[in-house]
Amino acid sequence: MTQHTITVAKGDGIGPEIMDACLRVLSASGANLVYEEIEIGEKLYNAGVSSGIRPEAWDSLRKTKVFYKAPITTPQGGGVKSLNVTVRKTFGLFANIRPCFSLAPYVDTRFPTMDVIIVRENEEDLYAGIEHRQTADVYQCLKLITRPGAERIIRYGFEFARLNGRKKVSCFTKDNIMKLTDGLFHKVFDEIGAEYPELEQEHWIVDIGSAKLADNPEQFDVIILPNLYGDILSDVAAEIAGSVGLAGSANIGSELAMFEAIHGSAPRRAGQNLANPSGLLMGGVQMLQHLKEAEAAERVRLAWLKAIEDGVHTYDIYKEGVSKERVGTKEFADAIIARMGEAPAILKSRGQGGVWPSVPVLKPRPAPRKELVGVDLFVDWVDGPKALGDKLTVVMAEPFKLAMVTNRGVKVYPDGAPETFCVDHYRCRYLLPTGLKGSPALVAELMMRVAQAGFDVVKTEGLYTFDGEPGFSLGQGQ
């Protein structure tokens, strides 16, 4: 039997308990797994390792290419980076697959036939982690949606749906507001979806889509989401399916893959043999499928379902009248191991699937014709929009022309509404006359003149057209 060496991290909080339980179950599955343990998380953060991981640990990950990771505690506030995000991004783990399915009638849920696969983009969006404070009042986080990023996750989601016999693929974005970023995600969804005519397809604005998911999840099948919405909604989906403690999470890249639970380190439950290891175990089943150990994966899935069907439940899913035995983490693992080779009667089909697509290869695209047509200069200013506009109009800006000034996106000059609340961060939009070609040098010259007039320019954004299409949004009220 093929031997697989995998890197294991036991993490923080409930991590070590649930990981020990899962490793015992996986070892009993018949798969030939060898574990290489690395230390990550809180201990390292406290020792001053701001990344939460030591250089040697990267070597193990590069060697084994498979990471089985218990949750870690990410200290809040400044100074340290989230290790989860760092690992996902360093290794390009672009796809996050989170199945959320009901275990009714054995685990309480309002949605007995719910079976949703959340396909979450895992590297981009607001998780680029590019944040800046620009003025006394204003903090900014950059939201990045890229065409290759959107194409990869959306194609992966459609392929996953096709290979696993799914019927419908939904996409949630907020493209009525974020027309360029979320607009691109939606557009790519429509483009790639056209290649999968056998699958029903729909797009929802994320607010109403979320409401529908929370109220009627049984109408959804596979949902493809940008990073932040996927992060939030996979917790919602797991919780309404039964418990956040039940869902596993696969993070897939072209070289490496990481498997975990969707929940965190639940520090208040740590060290009490209370936590449900199911989420991490489902991550382990995904890992066995990824390792092409389909039979072992199936044995674990069925034994786990049998234990749940037999009413052996941890505190989070225990319910008087349904559950038979309230057990701790260790005893739950024992119950699964004792049922290895058995199958449940009712729950047999829950959580089936797990055929993993290969990482999509992107088709090359011709580079668009890109032209600079203007620039947004952001200035730190406290004396209100009228004084700012009046002072700016006497600054020599040729060949640019000041088109408008906005505050938090709303036009405040010329002809701003007196009611608009302003902070100390103004965007001054300068445009070039039609037909005049802009250049970075022209922008630098304008910036210099504005700065020499005494303005504190905190940021610039070039305004480009791509094949004639504007690559920037209008000001609200423009």
Does position 316 interact with ligand NAD (CB under 6 A)? The reply is yes
Stretch that binds ligand NAD, among 111-119, 120-128, 273-281, 360-368 (CB under 6 A): 273-281
Does position 269 interact with ligand NAD (CB under 6 A)? The reply is yes
Contact residues for 99 (Cβ-Cβ < 8 A; gap 6+): 115, 116, 117, 118, 247, 248, 282, 351, 353
The contact pattern for ligand NAD, residues 202-231, with x = CB under 6 A and - = no contact, is ------------------------------
CB of 265 to ligand NAD, least distance (A): 4
Token pair, residue 101, equals 């399915």
Q: Please pick, from the candidates 263, 411, 427, 429, the single residue that binds ligand NAD as defined by CB under 6 A.
A: 263
CA dihedral 219, 223, 227, 228 (to 10 degrees): 0
Q: Please pick, from the candidates 198, 268, 320, 418, the single residue that binds ligand NAD as defined by CB under 6 A.
A: 268
The contact pattern for ligand NAD, residues 274-303, with x = CB under 6 A and - = no contact, is -xx--x------------------------
Three-state secondary structure call for residue 386: helix
Q: Within 46-75, which residues bind ligand NAD (CB under 6 A)?
A: 71-74
CB of 320 to ligand NAD, least distance (A): 18
- In 3-state terms the chain splits into helix, strand, coil percentages (rounded to 5) of 35, 25, 40
Stretch that binds ligand NAD, among 163-171, 256-264, 392-400, 412-420 (CB under 6 A): 256-264
Does position 333 interact with ligand NAD (CB under 6 A)? The reply is no
- Name the residue among 296, 297, 294 with its Cα closest to residue 285: 297
Closer by beta carbon to ligand NAD, 157 or else 245: 245
Residues 40 and 7: beta-carbon distance below 8 Å = no
Q: Please pick, from the candidates 7, 60, 251, 265, the single residue that binds ligand NAD as defined by CB under 6 A.
A: 265
Whole-angstrom Cα distance, residue 286 to residue 280? 10
Closer by beta carbon to ligand NAD, 268 or else 363: 268
Does position 186 interact with ligand NAD (CB under 6 A)? The reply is no
Does position 245 interact with ligand NAD (CB under 6 A)? The reply is yes
Whole-angstrom Cα distance, residue 257 to residue 68? 9
Token pair, residue 345, equals 């009667």
CB of 83 to ligand NAD, least distance (A): 8
- What letter represents residue 232's amino acid? I
Q: CA–CA distance from 367 to each of 150, 261, 461 (Å)?
A: 17, 40, 21
Does position 103 interact with ligand NAD (CB under 6 A)? The reply is no
Token pair, residue 23, equals 């490793």
Whole-angstrom Cα distance, residue 138 to residue 2? 56
Closer by beta carbon to ligand NAD, 124 or else 175: 124
CB of 367 to ligand NAD, least distance (A): 38
| Shortest-Cβ-distance residue relative to ligand NAD | 264
CB environment 429-466: b (16+ within 10 A), e (fewer) = bbbbeeeeebeeebbeebbeebeeeebeebebeebbbe
Q: Which residues bind ligand NAD (CB under 6 A)?
A: 14, 18, 71-74, 84, 244-245, 260, 263-269, 275-276, 279, 316
